[in-house]
Structure 1
Amino acid sequence: MRQALRAEWTKTRTVSGPLWLLLGTVALTVALSACACSVVSCGSAGCGDMTRLSLVGVQLGQAPVVVLAVLVVAGEYGTGMIRTTLTAMPRRATVLAVKAVTLTGIVAAAGTVAVLGSLASGRLLLPGRAFMAAPGHPPLSPTEGPTLRAALGSVLYLTLIALLSLGVATVVRDSAAGIGIVLGLLYLLPVVSATIGDPHWQRLLQRIGPMDAGLAVQATTDIHSLPIGPWPGLGVTAGWATAALLTGGLTLRIRDT
């Protein structure tokens, strides 16, 4: 297992694509968060959830994570490199596990940088938008319980999205199809939910969608009004990732023998 991990890590770090995608994750996450924090202002209804606003960039930063995770598997199928990989590591479960562990490590590292950068931008920009101690909104502090949970949960969310994408890519074996399926799950389900007039079905889609449910972990205020709680919501995303990986592992074992 150790040699397999070393081989996978070598493949990942010796090509430029993963590095640029990870940098893109950080840049897009921080940039969107900074933009959101720079234009918002308190209205008559109050200031809202300052932590969640600071982490809004995760919604965009997850896109490069999806591309990276899909290419980890589908890229090898596209070049034929998968034959060499499966010859070197005949145990299919080990192949997928090694890719999952390597992907988890690099996405968690980039996600941590992106989340901390987003919180830093919120701390710098939001006080100028009337988010300050006077109206009951002290500056953001990553060490506070709710903010710490939102930050940790956001990193876990990005990691789970990477694993979901890895599982889907293992099943479809095509980069374009894999990216399209995962991005559709993430971005189209919320759109469909918003267009549904029935509140029951709208709330149901928000509870089962991997993005809507998973990003509930970022909420620090009015949690009782959410369609699903922060940790249960992240559990829904984990369920999607687990199902995708199990399906991918089974497909890899049955088909690629």
Structure 2
Amino acid sequence: MTASTRDLSGAGAGAAVAAEWTKLTGTGRARRAAAGAVVLALAVAAVFCLTIGPTTGVALADQPAFDVLTASLLGADAAALVLTVLAAAAVGGEYTTGMVRTTFTATPRRGRVVLARAVTVVAAAGAVSLVAAVGAALVSLVVLAGAGLPLWDAADPAVWRAVAGAALMAPFHALVATAGALWSRSTAGGVVAALALLVAPTLAGWVPGGAAVLPLLPGEALHSLAGIAGPEGPHPAAAVLVLAAWSALALAAADRAVRGRDV
């Protein structure tokens, strides 16, 4: 038997995390998907950097180097979307194939399964997203250097804050997608849950008085941590609390749903 199917009922949380890690990352398909997310990030970063003039109305030569960097980091956002879908599909696939029964038989403490899956998803998505974000930033350097323009300063803390902030999007939304898939027992449910939070700031802007809730939404929190939020954005410390609260809420809903049914 593999680590994901042998009896783990008497093992601790570490064994549950190891089993979930094997299921999530142990296949060639998963590794190819992760590599594909990084390649997509680099391609999207190049497209946004090279088309920044037509899309913004300001020629590349007149763009501050930092703005070119932030445009390139949209590549990390593209990778985050892929990783979010993959996280939801990993759970949805278990319910579709019935593998989830084996998982809960091996680890009867279902809350431990939920937590272990959350830990592995955040770790895996975070690692891939960080590579994608750093790669996207390097694409902007290549574009600027190729055009003979000044480069952004690698010693500037704001640069790496932006990169780190971009890398946070994937683990957060992948976690929400995982929780949504566990709650709904489907890939679609997980994707919808993540997308709902992703578009929430836009929807809030359409509602009278909706701006008041923006600081409580994860999108604004992620922008704050990246250092690209507006003057009315939440303080970074508040942003961390917002993300923690949304994560806890998503996991609590998934845990309650998983515990309250046979499968």
User: What band does the TM-score fall into relative to the shorter chain?
Assistant: 0.7 to 0.9
The equivalent of 2:4 in structure 1 is none
CA distances 1:53-93 after superposition (whole Å, capped 9, x unpaired): 23122322211111121123222111111111101001111
TM-fit CA distance, 1:154 = 2.4
TM-fit CA distance, 1:191 = 4.1
2:247 to 241, 244, 247: 241
Once residues 232 and 157 of structure 1 are traced to their aligned partners in structure 2, the CA distance between those partners, rounded to angstroms, is: 17
The equivalent of 1:145 in structure 2 is 157
After TM superposition, the structure 1 stretch with the greater mean CA deviation from structure 2, 242-251 or 14-23, is: 14-23
TM-fit CA distance, 1:215 = 3.1
The equivalent of 2:121 in structure 1 is 103
The equivalent of 1:65 in structure 2 is 83
Give 1:21-36 correspondences, 5 Å limit: 21-36=33-48
Give 1:8-157 correspondences, 5 Å limit: 8-41=20-53, 42=58, 47=64, 49-127=67-145, 132=150, 138-141=151-154, 143-157=155-169
CA distances 1:83-122 after superposition (whole Å, capped 9, x unpaired): 1110100111111122122222211221121011011011
Root-mean-square deviation (CA, aligned residues, Å) is 2.9
SS of the residue corresponding to residue 255 of structure 1 reads: coil
The equivalent of 2:200 in structure 1 is 189
Q: What count of residue pairs does the alignment treat as equivalent?
A: 245
| Unpaired segments ≥5 residues, structure 2 | 1-12
Once residues 172 and 158 of structure 2 are traced to their aligned partners in structure 1, the CA distance between those partners, rounded to angstroms, is: 20
After TM superposition, the structure 1 stretch with the greater mean CA deviation from structure 2, 35-44 or 153-162, is: 35-44
- 1:157 and 1:237 in contact (8 A); partners too: no
Scaled by the length of structure 1, the TM-score of the pair is: 0.81
Once residues 129 and 216 of structure 1 are traced to their aligned partners in structure 2, the CA distance between those partners, rounded to angstroms, is: 31
The equivalent of 1:135 in structure 2 is none
Scaled by the length of structure 2, the TM-score of the pair is: 0.79
SS of the residue corresponding to residue 239 of structure 1 reads: helix
Once residues 232 and 102 of structure 1 are traced to their aligned partners in structure 2, the CA distance between those partners, rounded to angstroms, is: 25
In structure 2, relative to structure 1, the CA distance for the partners of 1:17 and 1:184 (3 Å cut) is: farther
The equivalent of 2:19 in structure 1 is 7
Once residues 205 and 130 of structure 1 are traced to their aligned partners in structure 2, the CA distance between those partners, rounded to angstroms, is: 43
In structure 2, relative to structure 1, the CA distance for the partners of 1:244 and 1:65 (3 Å cut) is: same
CA distances 1:113-149 after superposition (whole Å, capped 9, x unpaired): 10110110111113556852xxxxx4242x4311222
- 2:34 and 2:128 in contact (8 A); partners too: yes
Once residues 197 and 247 of structure 1 are traced to their aligned partners in structure 2, the CA distance between those partners, rounded to angstroms, is: 26
SS of the residue corresponding to residue 74 of structure 2 reads: coil
| Unpaired segments ≥5 residues, structure 1 | 133-137
